[in-house]
Chains A and B, each alone.
Chain A
Amino acid sequence: MALVSTIAWQGIRHKPGRALFSILGIALGIAIVTGVFTLDHNTVLGLTAKKGGEWAPALEVRPAASLVDPRGDLERLPGVADVSTFFQNDALARRTEETGRGRGERVRLFALDAESIEGLDAVRVLAGRSLRPGAAEPEVLLGEALAEALGLAVGDRLSLSRPPRQPRTACVDGEIRALGPEGEPAADVPVERAFQVVGVLAREKLGRRSQGMVVIADAAAARELYVGARVDPVYWVRQDPNVDLERLRASLGASFSYELNKAVLIGAAADERAFRNGVRFAGLFALVLGLYVIFHTLSMGLVERVREIATLHALGTTRAQIARVFLAEAALLASVAGVLGLAGGLALARLLLVRGVTTLGTGHVIRTFDVPWPAVLALAGLGVGIALLGSVWPLSKARGASTVAALRGDQAVKSSGTLRGFHLFAAILLAGLLPAIYFAIVPVVGEAQKELVGAVLAGVGFLALLVTLPLVVPALLSRTCELLARPMQALWTYSGRMAALGIRASPSRIAVSAAAIALVAAAFTGLKGMTRSLTGEIDVWAQRALVDKVYLRNLPNIPFQELRAALTQVPGFVALENGSARSWVPFLLLGLRSRELYAHGPCSSDPELLRRFDRGDAVIVSERLARHLGYAVGDRVHVGTGSGVVDLEVIAVSDAYGYFPKPDERLYGVVSDQFLQRAFCQDVETISECAVVLAPGTDPELVRAALHGLRPEAAFGFETGAWLREEHLRDLGRDFRLFDLILGLTAALAALGVLNGQLLAGLERAKELGIQKALGVTRRQVAGMVLCESLVIGAFGGLLGTALGATLTPVIVRSLESLSGLELPDAGPGPWLWIVPAGAIVVALGAALYPIARMNRTNAVSAVRAP
């Protein structure tokens, strides 16, 4: 044990730099990956808590009247995890013993299929049990408040009846009408039934509805209370998170209308999934890079290590003792790094959440903080474990190396292929084992579709390519680097010459440093290319949907005709789009007046289109709605209205009409306002919100002036399309700041890699340096040497990475396109083609500063003294 602690501890003490930077590398990698995961976890939790008022299932679905077995059809749809029949109604409840006395408490009754209650995760039972399917006696679950109010406990009996009814109303052909009795019992005598109380609900989920004055009963039993009443068939559906929401929506669309619960489905939309998966991949990227830097450090110390081991062995230390020494040291460093990384990661996630940075964009401040311990510990453990594996490698190598060769000098060990083997081993661990385990711990969000798997594999392949770079091309690399170093030799004779020599002597060290820089440069170029594509997409869309419009809000309900008459006075006025008539069906449906379509957009060149729109059973869907839900011209859209499900025909796909910034929703359809009036009894004659379409180049202020002329006292909201476009672009920039941050941290990791490499090379060559100093090399020449090397690393890595990133960008953009459902133009990397390599050089030069300072401290006397 003494040997273990002495040597392992002395190893750390005498090479504090190596120990520190090893710890930093692992810790930073672990911090980023755990931070990202914790951030995502809390983003979804926090936003769900924010949106969620009342508990509701993921989807509430209404079948088309023509379906024979809607429940069975639903169960068979991909993406449906659980289905239950559902209806709710008011009821009167009292203790069964008190039947006949008083009216009882007014409660809310939720009727669900007993066997699906658990699957829907709709309740938490505080006492007793949940409903049993097929129970002989009808059973109920009570809200806690109701149980207290009636003094009921599990085992008691409760009587329920239907309260005296108000006439029901619905919108039929544009009028609110009372619904007919439809064969109700002649005398309105409510049925009363007794139920067995089997459970009391906690005050959460359904148990919180109506302040806890709720009863949950099996749908079949509850239905008997409302005999004769009309109960629309409705189903509650829990979504299978492994199937993409769009697929579920698209398959539902054929015969069901539905309502989505946005609170449950946070982060489940296509673009949100793409973003979250991107963040997860960035986490993996950071972990790989961090470990890569460490392996680099280990491989640097390898020769020295092998010699150390050989010397120890020559002095009579057993192999087992040696193994213990090095394992102890590695375990100590890796676990310190693991703990630091974990703490740092959690702190990072916390900081970002408080700052309003989430994995679903910026601007939502989330105060709650929950640590997903199992996954986070597994991730930290993964990092520590892989780092340990990397440390054990030199041991297995030392076993094979000849002691004499190792004692004789560096060259003998270096040429023995030890390093090559190490790099191969590292590549297998980092590009194979690590991603495999990572995706087991942190699965991708949503379906593992072809495109997503493809994108992930491409990413991993890219990591593998760069990680194996030092393995494949040391010769090519040293040739290239020599070429790069040549002009420097002319500029700084000695420094350039020594840098070139150093590069030639250890091409794989240079390759590793350059590869780390290249990885980050490629990721940056890819990211910037991608954001430029997204920006381009917004540009294209904004051009079609909003730049030539002015949005007015909170208008004092102006009659359509009056407003239009005033606006026609504005030179350049084209059309008036009413934003006040809207309905969710379940996508946003806007009602526009037909004649407002003819002067712009596709209708302006196609009178037939306008005629069909005017007919009232046609819908123009937005580009994104068409893409997401798979609508094409000629398809039919089912819309649930007060008087049943109505079919609308898709006659065009266009963004030209009907976009409104509040709510910012690009998934919408436009119908004739007459349809909205008929189907939903919407007021389409007065306007409180509208878009004014103007000819290009018109001054938007003219619209404001016209409004002031019309209603001088009114204060209203005024936004120009051009300003909204800028807002969207700014939002995008903000959302991607998280990626900038993660990549910034990985750039720090890459810099750490360069720093480590040079520092260790410097320490390894301390003697050479000392001799050179004794021979008259100045500090400036030492600095020049290291800077020249950095310049080569930065230039080579930066150019290689940028080239790779630029090549990969179209691939990333295409897979993002199919993943997010956006139509993305290829924008290319633009100015980043120059900024990224320049940045890479700056990072590499910056990383050289510490090694330079350290190398200039080497002692010439002790160097020349030792044999």
Chain B
Amino acid sequence: MTKLVEAHDLYRFQGEGQDQTAILRGVTFDVSEREFVCIMGPSGSGKSTLLHLLSGLDQPSAGRVVLRGQDVSKLSEEARTLERRAALGYVFQFFNLLPNLTVLQNVGLPLAISGQHPESEEARLVAILERLGLASRRHAFPHQLSGGEMQRVSIARALAGGQPLILADEPTGNLSQKAGLEVMRILRGLVDDDGRSVLLVTHNPRDATFADRVLFLVDGELAKGRELHGPDIHVDRVHEALAALAI
């Protein structure tokens, strides 16, 4: 199966001299086409940092990121940006909506960025919002939304671009049980129905059960031999793994 994104022995240091700390220490893994990978780990273990590196937003201190067969570090800034635009839909941990745009405009933003006319795709965008239960709020501004609503808008935005890989950083953190479940079904549907791939970061064991593969990141390293493989990962096995790693 073709690999969409590969991480080769990634290191990421923060700070200088005495204060330097390693956030990531030799992380190696990949996500293939039509694959749903989940990463779990304690707070501060470097999950968000890893996603930033994979998306090319941030540069590793050592190691390589290969995105759709291209070494990201060898690309110019311009090319990297274009590659990210084409390859990834990103659900940020903090919603990062543009305050001056309406919900619909925020969701249509990836289309606008790549030079398309969101108006012409309005029906599709509204359908996405519909699935996330936001169709009625499409003309609201971010500051008029609740935290959960903002989170769902940022998910909708990641889906709107239609990219082959979705990076989702705790997409259900602010959501109710029911809404969270709906989001997970949507993500699973992307893999099963649309043939896209998902890389999910989460603290929620239930979310992990939707994945094909679950990895555990502890202190900047992937816990060896602890991966869970699907299909049909039972929630108890997730709990066991977390307990074993003292997460």
Listed in ascending order, the chain A residues whose CB lies under 8 Å from chain B are 408-412, 493-494, 497-498, 501, 505, 767-768, 771-781, 860-861, 863-867
Contacts and interface: CB of A to CB of B under 8 A. Distances in A.
Given A411-B99, A493-B115, A768-B98, A864 B110 contact: no
Contacts of A501: 100-101
Given A767-B96, A863-B96, A774 B143 contact: no
Given A411-B99, A778-B78, A864-B96, 14 more contacts: A408-B143, A409-B142, A410-B99, A493-B112, A493-B116, A493-B117, A497-B112, A768-B100, A771-B96, A771-B98, A772-B109, A774-B92, A776-B84, A781-B113
B114 interface: yes
B138 interface: no
Contacts of A777: 81, 113
Interface of B: 48, 52, 55, 57-58, 77-78, 81-82, 84-86, 90, 92, 94, 96, 98-101, 109-110, 112-117, 141-143
A487 B94 CA distance: 35
A411 B90 contact: no
19 contacts: A409-B142, A409-B143, A411-B99, A494-B115, A497-B112, A498-B112, A501-B100, A768-B98, A768-B100, A774-B57, A774-B84, A775-B85, A775-B110, A776-B113, A779-B78, A861-B52, A861-B58, A864-B90, A866-B94
Contacts of A494: 112-115
B215 to A, nearest CB: 22
Nearest to A506: B100
Contact of A775 (B78, B94, B109): B109
Residue with the highest number of chain B CB atoms closer than 10 Å, among A498, A861, A863:
A861
A778 B98 contact: no
B117 A775 contact: no
Given A410-B99, A494-B115, A779 B77 contact: yes
Given A412-B143, A505-B100, A864 B82 contact: no
Contacts of B78: 778-780
A200 to B, nearest CB: 79
B143 A867 contact: no
A781 B85 CA distance: 13
Given A409-B143, A864-B94, A864-B96, A774 B114 contact: no
B102 to A, nearest CB: 11
Contacts of B55: 774
Contacts of A864: 52, 57, 90, 92, 94, 96
Nearest to A505: B100
A160 B57 CA distance: 101
B81 A776 contact: yes
Nearest to B55: A774
B214 to A, nearest CB: 25
Residue with the highest number of chain B CB atoms closer than 10 Å, among A412, A501, A775:
A775
Given A501-B100, A865-B94, A776 B57 contact: no
Contacts of B141: 411
Contact of B114 (A498, A776, A863): A776
A409 B98 CA distance: 11
A404 to B, nearest CB: 12
Contacts of A861: 52, 57-58
A776 B110 contact: yes
A778 B112 contact: no
Nearest to B105: A501
Residue with the highest number of chain A CB atoms closer than 10 Å, among B78, B82, B101, B113:
B113
Contacts of B90: 774-775, 864
Given A411-B99, A411-B143, A493-B115, A773 B58 contact: no
Closest 7 CB pairs of A and B: A776-B85, A867-B94, A409-B143, A505-B100, A493-B115, A771-B96, A864-B92
Nearest to A773: B81
Given A409-B99, A410-B99, A501-B101, A778 B81 contact: yes
A642 B82 CA distance: 96
Contact of B48 (A493, A768, A865): A865
Nearest to A780: B78
A761 to B, nearest CB: 11
A71 B227 CA distance: 116
